[in-house]
Chain A
Amino acid sequence: MAAIWWYLQRITGAMLLVLLVLHFWVEHFVSESLRRGDLTYDAIRARIVNPWWQATDIAFLLIALVHGLSGARNMVLDYSRIGRRGAQVATVLLCGAGIVWAWWGIEAFGNLR
């Protein structure tokens, strides 16, 4: 079981690297105003009406959450002595946090769709 997460951490990491470069490019680089850091509602809206961009952004969030919370779980299990039961509780709590967090991020686009 641990081995699956080990590999998943590498695979999600590689995906995040690609998505991060893309994200940086479209939000901070493509135009003069974006290079100044002036990201506006209208600029985001113009991009988000495209369902492919929406799917890309949501995928970015979900993959980042799997990678980040799985990493957080590794740290909790490494630096604490909570035993098997405690590890299960930590896993359930982090999964719950991930679901709420994902919902929170997806809902942010709720009024743009």
Chain B
Amino acid sequence: MTTTRRSLLAGAALAAGLALTPAFGQSPTEIELFFPVPVDGQLARDMATMIKEFNEGHPAIKVTPVYTGSYDETLIKTRAAMKAGKPPAVSIMSANFLRDLQIENEIQPLDALIKADGKSNDQFMGQFFPALYGNAVLDRSVYGVPFHNSTPLLYINAEHFKEAGLDPENPPKTWAEFAAAAAKLTRREGDRTTRWGIAIPSQYDTGGWLLQALTYSNGGRWFNVDYAGEVYYDEPSTLGALTFWSDLVKSKVLQPGVQQGGAVTTAFLSGQASMMLNSTGSLTFVRGNAKFPLKVAFVPRNLQNQVPIGGASLVIPTGVEGERRQAAWTLINWMTSPEKSGWWSRATGYFAPNMQAYQLPEMKVFLGKNPDAKVAVDQLAYARPWFATYKTVPVRKAIEDELAQVLSGKKSPKEALVAAQKNADEIMKPYVEQTALKLPSN
């Protein structure tokens, strides 16, 4: 069905180009889309293909896809371009940057555009998984449209499981089973560990995300979803999560020190680690490169199944007006439609934020062949928003720096959390003073 429509459109465009010279004297609205490449280079090519298709179907708009490096570099480039008075019409932003960008007035609310389409905000957001609202709807206004999203997953090497006498069809569900499996899977030669039971990325960004996941699984709240000036670092639920993580190092089933995402994936793929916690965003790459039967499962729980979402949203920077804004909106709606959303999901491993994507026949066929992709979607029932506060990155770094010290054996979990809370509060103080503590008189 899709193919037919696509070739029809292409055919029409071609015919128009050959014979009619369309939109005489009217040049198309030119807009740019800034996009980071989340996993590997193949996706940069996929993005180009997708935009080409959009341009063919929309002769009045010409979108240029601009590759902008990592998520961080995309943020630098977007901000620099805005300062230079050349904001891109659309940017794909890490979903947890949105709160900051909104506080600093750097992205615009999309409410008016939604209204012009005859929808209410609730109707518009209704097409997406509810877990995604918290990072897209800020102060009741829609600031971002979810494009590709993730949750953390437990990846297991089924071969190692069998070898260690564990059942790969029945992956660890609780922290106790998780730690026990990790111990059974670890291999040592004398003092040297030749295979780690578990690998968990703990570098900046991912470290905070996964500690949030463990804290959620431990019944915690991590941050105040409704107010940008509060985090819950020094709380029993967080202490339990951090202590659990640090105990994995102490019992020598997890390598000490900080581990980078790439290193973790490589260790897992080469059989040097039997399990890993990692983003669904890596799923397609891992599935394509694993030389062993792969299984994925929910993040193990202590008190409850609950994880934060991750991924990125489409935003329109402040200063994009008129025709360019309208064109940006057309592009955003097209990219987040069930069809495109589903296609991108299959290419990357991210889940499709648009729920309708999972009703399409091609998606059903895909999930039939790759049941692991369904796990991430099922876990969404237990997902909550991603960490986002006033000055998200430094507030997150406050706990990630402490996490690094705990994993390197330099601090106890309790000391670390007290320090993290103090630093985070210090960073958020100016905001708190101007909001929650700004009281009438005096």
Partners in one complex: no
A interface with B by C-beta (< 8 Å): none
B interface with A by C-beta (< 8 Å): none
